[in-house]
Chains A and B, each alone.
Chain A
Amino acid sequence: MSGSAAPASIDADALLAALARWCDAMEAAGPELNELDARLGDGDLGATLARCAANVRASLAGTPAVAPGAMLKACAQACAKASGSSFGTLLAVAFLAAAKAAGERERLEREAMVSMLDAARETMSARGGAALGDKTVLDSLAAVADALRHATPDASAGQLRDVAVDAAARAVDTLRARPNRIGRARMFGERSVGLEDPGMVAALRMAQAL
């Protein structure tokens, strides 16, 4: 979706290709995310995401591109098989919320993408208990949704991707100076100031892959 002439919407084939890149990116980011997570948690974030990616890849392998909502639901179920760890479950929560928001649509326009991101963030917040400002992946999703909402109306899909990456990167930078306020990282309190939140870095790597 890097071509500037591409329309600002994605169909099932484009989503399938994007999910394949997402899997590659999560597997490639495994060591980096494990290392970031080891400073604040149990150091298994990269491994968890790599397992999610492997399951997503297996569940999509050989199947034709179906409606985006159905593919995202399959991704949710694939992540639910990955592990009992919280981030894997939250990823399943996010995929399923996005799948429901996508509904029966054949193509995802920008508005649909924004509402999928909002639905994912709201459901993850309700399930996981984190709020905006707690320095979690929720802050990344809110920043990306906001940036997409305010992008120029005629932005291409490639330009929207750049907007999303930029927003996810800025969210990491903005929150770096604050303490983690939820989860295991919370116990590090002020010592987490100055450290990137591993989940937010994961969100950045995801945006870069799309």
Chain B
Amino acid sequence: MKKILNQPDAYVDEMLAGLCAAHPRSYRLEGDDGRVIARASGAVKGKVGIVTGGGSGHLPVFLGYVGDGLLDACAVGNVFAGPRVSDCQAAARAADGGAGVLQLYGNYGGDKMNFDMAQEFLELDGLEVSSVRVADDVASAPPPERDKRRGVAGMVYAFKIAGARAAEGGSLAEVTAAATKAAQACRSIGIALTPCVVPESGKPSFSIDDDEIEFGMGIHGEPGIWRGAMKPADALAQEMLDRLLPELDVGRGSRVAVLVNSLGATPHEELYILYRHVAKVLGERGATPVMPLVGRYATSMEMAGASVTLMPLDAELERLLTARADCPFWRVG
């Protein structure tokens, strides 16, 4: 293992300490073990609070998106391991501005169980809580089993849409509805070129030959659709679109949010080569990309690879997508 760290066990806590030291006006630590990131300025009175949570190792997902027009708090787990139930509760309390709290997170079994348990505890204490899970990874289950799909880069759009609706003053029901709409509208697929190393184990998350890629792999190295020889970028982009577009209504006049995301090690250059083909295909269909995002938005530490996310927009989604938002990793407007 060749990583910049001190002790593998201290990886997450030292990362959090550095993050808060670098961005003291954005983030502060909460929770009895310091495993909750909340807005430095505290909960916004009268606004619906939005919390998320998940394993570390995906920056800017999850905690990076705590900020104006985005999330209010995040429960932080170890690398690729879910947060504690008590931290999910602490995140909700930190986010509570008196208008209820939305738990918005990726569709993973352990996280669902923990957030469900947190919701039960919070409701016993009289807090109004709703939950929406993002399940955008088309490689992880066929369309009839959409509820089994994993949440990947599409979470970024769900955070943005829900965050903007809450900032507009939406009620818990309205923010929940906006989050649900975004979660149902977006689709993602990824390709992995190399594994990453989880600090606690010190070993690669999976093994793959130098000339091979895994198409459809999940962000923790979950198996994808096929493994085979590397292909040219346009062929990869085309195959990704061929998996996404049949599930989406994208035609003449469509406006589509596009995210070409690095899994960590893949450079911006290669993302733009992918984006070039994605934009060309959308243009040929008569569709217009809106506010394209090209960069590191949801990663797996140093894994090489990329994902493409598409979200067809209606007027409401486009208004919420382009509304002002600000966190240290991303600024809109």
A32 to B228, CA, bound (A): 42
> 0/1 per residue, B78-99, Cβ < 8 Å to A?
1001111111010000000000
A110 to B199, CA, bound (A): 49
Q: Are the C-beta atoms of B84 and A82 separated by less than 8 Å?
A: yes
> 0/1 per residue, A81-100, Cβ < 8 Å to B?
11111101110110010000
Selected contact of A77 from candidates B82, B109, B114, B121, CB within 8 Å = B121
A84 to B53, CA, bound (A): 11
Considering only CB atoms and an 8 Å cut-off, how many residues of chain B contact the other chain? 20
A86 to B115, CA, bound (A): 12
Q: Are the C-beta atoms of B114 and A84 separated by less than 8 Å?
A: yes
Task: Tell yes or no: B68 within 8 A of A by CB.
Answer: no
A88 to B306, CA, bound (A): 34
Q: Which of B152-200 contact A (CB under 8 A)?
A: none
How far apart are B29's CB and chain A's nearest CB, in angstroms? Answer: 16
Q: Which residues on the B side are within 8 Å of A96 (C-beta)?
A: 117, 120-121
Task: Tell yes or no: B216 within 8 A of A by CB.
Answer: no
How far apart are A37's CB and chain B's nearest CB, in angstroms? Answer: 16
Selected contact of B117 from candidates A83, A85, A89, CB within 8 Å = A89
Task: Tell yes or no: B113 within 8 A of A by CB.
Answer: yes
Q: Which of A54-112 contact B (CB under 8 A)?
A: 76-77, 80-86, 88-90, 92-93, 96
A76 to B89, CA, bound (A): 13
Q: Are the C-beta atoms of A81 and B84 separated by less than 8 Å?
A: yes
How far apart are A186's CB and chain B's nearest CB, in angstroms? Answer: 12
Task: Tell yes or no: B286 within 8 A of A by CB.
Answer: no
Task: Tell yes or no: B110 within 8 A of A by CB.
Answer: yes
A127 to B78, CA, bound (A): 22
Secondary structure type dominating chain B contacts = helix
Task: Tell yes or no: B302 within 8 A of A by CB.
Answer: no
Task: Tell yes or no: A3 within 8 A of B by CB.
Answer: no
Task: Tell yes or no: B209 within 8 A of A by CB.
Answer: no
Q: Which residues on the A side are within 8 Å of B87 (C-beta)?
A: 84
With contact pairs A92-B85, A129-B109 given, residues A81 and B117 touching in the complex (Cβ less than 8 Å): no
A127 to B112, CA, bound (A): 8
Q: Are the C-beta atoms of B117 and A127 separated by less than 8 Å?
A: yes
How far apart are B67's CB and chain A's nearest CB, in angstroms? Answer: 24
Q: Which residues on the B side are within 8 Å of A88 (C-beta)?
A: 84-85
Q: Are the C-beta atoms of B120 and A89 separated by less than 8 Å?
A: no
Selected contact of B113 from candidates A76, A81, A82, A127, CB within 8 Å = A127
Selected contact of A89 from candidates B77, B78, B85, B89, CB within 8 Å = B85
Q: Which residues on the A side are within 8 Å of B89 (C-beta)?
A: 80
Q: Are the C-beta atoms of B81 and A80 separated by less than 8 Å?
A: no
How far apart are A114's CB and chain B's nearest CB, in angstroms? Answer: 22
Task: Tell yes or no: B32 within 8 A of A by CB.
Answer: yes
Give residues in B with beta carbon < 8 Å to A. Answer: 32, 77-78, 81-87, 89, 109-110, 113-114, 116-118, 120-121
Q: List 24 A-B pairs, Cβ < 8 Å.
A: A77-B86, A80-B84, A80-B117, A80-B118, A81-B32, A81-B85, A81-B86, A82-B84, A84-B83, A84-B84, A84-B85, A84-B110, A85-B81, A86-B109, A86-B110, A88-B85, A89-B113, A89-B114, A90-B113, A92-B117, A93-B117, A96-B121, A127-B116, A128-B113
